[in-house]
A and B are shown apart, each in its own frame.
Chain A
Amino acid sequence: MLRIESLSAGYGEAQVLRDVSLHVAEGEVVTLVGRNGAGKSTLLRCLMGLHTQQRGLVEFLGRDLARLPTYRRARLGLGWVPDDRGIFASLSVAEHLTLAPPVGPDPWSLRRVYDTFPVLAERRRFPGTRLSGGEQQMLAMARVLRTGAQLLVCDEPTEGLAPVVVRRIGEIIREVKAHGGTVLLVEQNVHFAATVADRHYLLAEGRIAETLDNAEVRERESELLAYLGI
């Protein structure tokens, strides 16, 4: 579904990604792990066309994205959940759920969103930024589920959230997968990652250093955590 070949990107002189190649097949949940500053968010921004200084191939649903502007990439079915959650202060919760146009074959209905996230229904008239951190994360995910995006691209959705919220996010990702959805997940919490994902890419020094499966992640959990500096 997604294929990245030899992607390089940087900021001015600073090279952040060097020849990164990875792929995500339909129905898979794949995580991208790496230290702070490794370039995980940069990679996702490249995917969305928000980072212009890049070389290499990015292919989604068999289409080369190189010439596509950001909004067209979203319309193709890339649903981005940014690392800062991207909640608008000037939009109500309900407006967040209608802003993005439907893009996939199977967008979630408003009913389904509110059934899954009752707290969003309760707060639907609130300005988005009045929600708690966990609720904002739910809203950011609900917003892209609502569009029916075929590939969810989530940037550290569990960061800084309470264990019960993290569990809830895990459930949602599993539900998406159970319905045939595909997820590329940036995650530092490798323990959590092993509970939701099929495969893991380790990004180090701007390259994909290793590809791990869940068993390997569990086996090497303490080593990985030490490497990631957690």
Chain B
Amino acid sequence: MVDVTQQLFNGLVGGGFLAMLALGLAVIFGMLRVVNFAHGAFYMLGAFGAYLLLTEAGVNFWLALLIVPVGLAVVGMVLERAFVHRLTRLDPLYNFLLTFGLALILQDAVKSQYGTQSKPYSRPALLDGSLNLGLFEYPRYQVFVLVFALVVCVAVWLVLARTRVGMIIRAATERPELTRALGIDVGRWVTPVFGFGIGLAGLAGVLAAPMRAVHPAMGADLIITVFAVVVIGGLGSIFGAVVAGFAIGMVQALGNLYVPAASQILVFILMAVVLLWRPTGLFGREEVLT
């Protein structure tokens, strides 16, 4: 029993990473109709950013948590202006070529500079040690990550649900042409939304640095699962991405406990089942795909 609850807790923490990454992918897809295969690479850059800031400049975790996502968001906006916006009128194949190519370039650039070895990054002192959760002791840092991820997801949801910008993003995600025809300059929001999605990936990366191995392939390993999360949640659905992120985290954790041999493919079996039952995913809508 303790094992199961503890494992479910691990699942929630892992799910927090999946949810933040899937959230970024979902807003980017919604606004740009671009599937960002480089998303995992930005997660990796987030972790490396934190590592390099610490080792090269002595910048601590807390500052990195602020600087790295903002820096990567700016990088994302520059890339959107320089390359990604050109995809709108092209065959979707170019979407794959550009973003996947970008992922490989970033990953190999980091690899050639810093090697394939995992880099150590210790937890911030404030979050060292563990917390008694009643049934079991749990690392303080992991609890922080879970709470932080939940706060980020809720905050993004509030912005989308309650603010004017959020309303414009929802409208443009659903019917971009119609939204323009109502007098809204949708194009103005595309670059910031892309930057925001990339920033979220970077944020997840910084959070990962103290608890996961920091190495060049860390994003590539994770991103496949994130895509499954986005598909299960429903392409373009923000809510679906978050719910599916946490759910898949728990499915994976339980898989590790009960069927360790199959834990890797469990997610994809689940994805196939969901798609057979609901081709648009759990919270997806028909229109988004057309």
Contacts and interface: CB of A to CB of B under 8 A. Distances in A.
Interface of A: 48, 50, 69-71, 73-75, 80, 82, 86, 88-91, 95, 98-101, 103, 143, 147
Contacts of A147: 182-183
A90 B185 CA distance: 19
Contacts of B186: 71
B177 A99 contact: no
B237 to A, nearest CB: 9
Contacts of A71: 180-186
Given A86-B175, A88-B175, A89-B285, A74 B170 contact: no
18 contacts: A50-B177, A70-B181, A71-B186, A74-B181, A74-B183, A80-B181, A80-B182, A82-B178, A86-B175, A88-B171, A90-B285, A95-B167, A98-B164, A99-B168, A99-B179, A100-B183, A100-B184, A147-B183
B183 A48 contact: no
The B interface is mostly helix, strand or loop, or mixed, namely: helix
Contacts of A90: 170-171, 173-174, 285
B180 A74 contact: yes
Interface in B269-286: 285
Nearest to B238: A90
Contact of A70 (B168, B171, B180, B287): B180
Given A88-B171, A89-B287, A91-B167, A99 B180 contact: no
A70 B175 CA distance: 14
A88 B174 contact: yes
A99 B171 contact: yes
A69 B174 contact: no
**Range of interface residues on chain B?**
20 to 34
A125 to B, nearest CB: 12
Contacts of B285: 89-90
Contact of A89 (B164, B168, B174): B174
Contacts of B175: 86, 88
A168 to B, nearest CB: 23
Interface string B153-181: 00000000000100110110111011111
Contacts of B167: 91, 95, 98-99
Contacts of A82: 178, 181
Contact of B183 (A75, A86, A95, A98): A75
Interface in B211-238: none
A61 B182 CA distance: 18
B249 to A, nearest CB: 26
A143 to B, nearest CB: 7
Nearest to B182: A100
Nearest to A100: B182
A101 B184 contact: yes
Contacts of B177: 50, 70
The interface centre, meaning the residue of B167, B179, B183 with most chain A CB atoms within 10 A of its CB, is: B183
A97 to B, nearest CB: 11
Contact of A143 (B170, B173, B182): B182
A103 B184 CA distance: 11
A177 to B, nearest CB: 23
Contacts of A74: 180-184
